[in-house]
Structure 1
Amino acid sequence: MAPTEETGNSSVIATMNRTCLLDEQFLTKMIPPILIIIFILAASFNSLALWIFCSHMKKKTPIDILMLNLCIGDLLFTLTYPLIIIYRSNNNYWIFGNFVCKLQIFMMYSSVLASVFFLTCISNYRCYMIIKPIHTQIRITKKCTIVICVLIWTLAGLFAFPSFFKMNVFELNGKIQCLSVNQPNIEEDLLSVTIAFFILCFGIPFISLLVSTLLIQRKLTNLTLTAHSEKNRHAVRMMMVILCIFVICFLPLNVTRLTASIVGVKSCKNFKQIGVVYYCCVLALYANNVLDPFVYFYAGTKYRSKLINAIKGVAFCHKLPIAASSTKSNIESKV
């Protein structure tokens, strides 16, 4: 059946043409409270990081530029959370129209892809910096890093761009829906697209991350105990954090999506079971924006020192009124 068009709000509503559907009613209770907590943490952590990058780090190194772009990508992804919270709280009823649905999906895809690529570049840069520090400083300049960032954003946008045309709102049980595994025509080119995404947007970056981690460990193992500086120890911790992000946030979602595309809706029981697991993995993906600021802490000594100084400054400002009030009370008691 062909899609029908609503002239009232200029949106295309795809017609449901399959019988195997996942009951997503459980999402109205599961997603809003969890996502509200993730949103508060992600918005707070990344806003603080962006403030430090922009206000306290005037002269940025290549890795600072990479982290700044990663922070921007995380904030863009975080901005999509309120619409998801409203959508799920509103009993899975999408009230924002077809264009906003398309834009929402595009922002989610492009932001996640940008995060994957920037995390990969940060890990590779840190690995290269430890193995060949002199070559890194000569070859990887600020201009080179800016070009890499532009290429990453362009690549992420190109990968996510087809979703803007592919995805539409659709009507199910009298409700307009978006962001659903019940999307009509979900089987069209699903397997080939999913395999391509799995290889290019997860497989290659993940293998690159593993290789960088092994190279760093090998390099540090060959160094003497006196050569193990604090900087190198932080580099190892940073690699572990990025590896955990990939394993917790990206791996389950990609494996589940690949499994769902292989199973398809032909096995309805398996499709429904995988659909529930898929949404749990999506929640893990949302948590990525909370974990990325830990990468900033271990990736750059400048950011780490600025963050510690900012926290100490805030704590000192809070102590001043207390000290002043205690001094005043002591004077009054003496009087």
Structure 2
Amino acid sequence: PAVIHLLCSFLEKYINMRCNFNGTLLISVLPPVLFTEFLFGVLGNGLALWIFCFHARPWKSSTVLLFNLAMADFLLNMALPFRAIYYISDIQWKFGHALCNICLFMLAMNRSGSTFFLMAIAVDRYMRVVHPHHPINSLSISKAMCGALAIWLLTISLTVHVFNLKHINTTRCESFMVDTEMHHNLNWHKFEFLFSFYVPLLVVLYCTFHIVGHLRRRQLAQQAKMKKALWFIVVVAVLFIICYLPSNIAQLVIWIQTKHLASKLPDTEACSALEDLTIVFFVTISLTYFNSVLDPAVYYLSSPTFKNIYRKVLRLSQADTDKSTERKTRETGSQTLSQL
């Protein structure tokens, strides 16, 4: 009995130090956002995968990176309807503990995978523009696939811990919880969330600034080919920052504020003071999934093949989609994809 009493006291303390929020705003805001991201993400990335598989021939090393980015985005989209239903059901998870962890793992793995593949694409473009004669620019498809596999293995190793998450409240399915005791508040999952953004961010910014500086020094920015390369890397950097920066800033602010409030206020008051900030975090983390909707813009800029097929499917201007142009872009599209 004494052991049971001690265990119950520990669990009670642990539950009390974890903040639970009513999430009224999340229930009304997130479902339409998540369903919109799912719809356009599946359409955009599904179309991109179709182009990669049936039109982008032959593949080059950069094609492998773009294909894996599209795959990461597509797999992430598959988990979004479950999250939307979760919020529609007043934040009540109805699919069981196992599917909860699978869903959270899919989100974490593919969100991190997207950031690392965007980083790899930025490095690839940096090497082709700044160091065009480096041997890495002539990687074979098999070596490029090994590199992509290494990125997936890194991503999985960083996020597989999600399967060990324990949800004390069985109706909740969250991987991010605010703990009023600081030694619980910065766990591996939150560290991985921050690491998989700030490391790729530094690399993407480094590549972007060096490409811009290189083109300006050589006065090549106005040449058509180099102008496309410049636009490409700038779009990658802008999408990366817009989609991922707000949620990461919110996570850092929550960690700092928790440390500040937990030392001054009781648990219940500390949780109340953190509620608005936590809601902001959950909204911004849902907006990170818009990256999977916007990434097709990266593919659009990567090759005339994508431009012409997108225009044909969306029934836009047919100036660039006549038969001769389409035949030409099919023959040269993959070469442009890897060289621009």
TM-score, length of structure 2 as denominator length: 0.79
Relative distance call for 1:145 and 1:194 in structure 2 (3 A) is same
- Kindly state the Cα deviation for residue 76 of structure 1 after the two structures are TM-superposed: 0.5
Cα contact 2:62–2:121 (8 A) shared by 1 = yes
Write the mapping of 1:123-272 to structure 2, written as runs, cut at 5 A: 123-136=122-135, 139-168=138-167, 170-171=169-170, 176-179=171-174, 181-182=176-177, 189-191=184-186, 193=188, 196-197=191-192, 200-224=195-219, 228-264=222-258, 266=262, 267-272=270-275
What is the identity, as a one-letter code, of the residue corresponding to 1:237? Answer: W
The answer as to 2:255 corresponding to 1:275 is no
TM-score, length of structure 1 as denominator length: 0.80
Cα contact 1:56–1:306 (8 A) shared by 2 = no
Number of matched residues?
300
Could you say what secondary structure the match of 2:169 adopts?
A: strand
Distance (whole Å) between structure 2 residues aligned to residue 80 and residue 242 of structure 1: 24
What is the identity, as a one-letter code, of the residue corresponding to 2:141? Answer: K
- Kindly state the Cα deviation for residue 69 of structure 1 after the two structures are TM-superposed: 0.4
* Cα RMSD for the two superposed structures: 2.9
- Structure 2 partner of 1:70: 69
- Kindly state the Cα deviation for residue 275 of structure 1 after the two structures are TM-superposed: 0.5
Could you say what secondary structure the match of 2:298 adopts?
A: helix
Distance (whole Å) between structure 1 residues aligned to residue 71 and residue 143 of structure 2: 19
Distance (whole Å) between structure 2 residues aligned to residue 86 and residue 123 of structure 1: 35
Distance (whole Å) between structure 2 residues aligned to residue 221 and residue 41 of structure 1: 36
- Structure 2 partner of 1:105: 104
- Kindly state the Cα deviation for residue 140 of structure 1 after the two structures are TM-superposed: 2.8
Query: Greater Rg, structure 1 or structure 2?
Result: 1
- Kindly state the Cα deviation for residue 89 of structure 1 after the two structures are TM-superposed: 1.1
What is the identity, as a one-letter code, of the residue corresponding to 2:242? Answer: I
Identity %: 25
- Kindly state the Cα deviation for residue 302 of structure 1 after the two structures are TM-superposed: 4.4
Distance (whole Å) between structure 1 residues aligned to residue 115 and residue 82 of structure 2: 23
What is the identity, as a one-letter code, of the residue corresponding to 1:220? Answer: L
Distance (whole Å) between structure 1 residues aligned to residue 189 and residue 176 of structure 2: 14
Distance (whole Å) between structure 1 residues aligned to residue 212 and residue 162 of structure 2: 39
Q: 298-307 or 129-138, which moves further after superposition? A: 298-307
Relative distance call for 1:19 and 1:290 in structure 2 (3 A) is closer
- Kindly state the Cα deviation for residue 18 of structure 1 after the two structures are TM-superposed: 3.4
Q: Where does the alignment leave 5 or more consecutive residues of structure 2 unmatched?
A: 1-5, 9-13, 263-269, 320-340
- Kindly state the Cα deviation for residue 100 of structure 1 after the two structures are TM-superposed: 0.3
What is the identity, as a one-letter code, of the residue corresponding to 1:236? Answer: L
What is the identity, as a one-letter code, of the residue corresponding to 2:154? Answer: L
Cα contact 1:65–1:146 (8 A) shared by 2 = yes
Q: Where does the alignment leave 5 or more consecutive residues of structure 1 unmatched?
A: 4-14, 317-335
Distance (whole Å) between structure 1 residues aligned to residue 156 and residue 234 of structure 2: 28
Q: Deviations over 1:109-152 (max 9, x none)?
A: 00001000000000110111011222256543322211110011
Distance (whole Å) between structure 2 residues aligned to residue 295 and residue 75 of structure 1: 15
Relative distance call for 1:147 and 1:181 in structure 2 (3 A) is closer
Distance (whole Å) between structure 1 residues aligned to residue 30 and residue 194 of structure 2: 29
Name the structure with the higher strand share. 1
What is the identity, as a one-letter code, of the residue corresponding to 2:174? Answer: L
- Structure 2 partner of 1:296: 299
Relative distance call for 1:195 and 1:17 in structure 2 (3 A) is closer
Relative distance call for 1:180 and 1:132 in structure 2 (3 A) is closer
Q: Deviations over 1:194-231 (max 9, x none)?
A: 67436631222111111111111111112345x74323
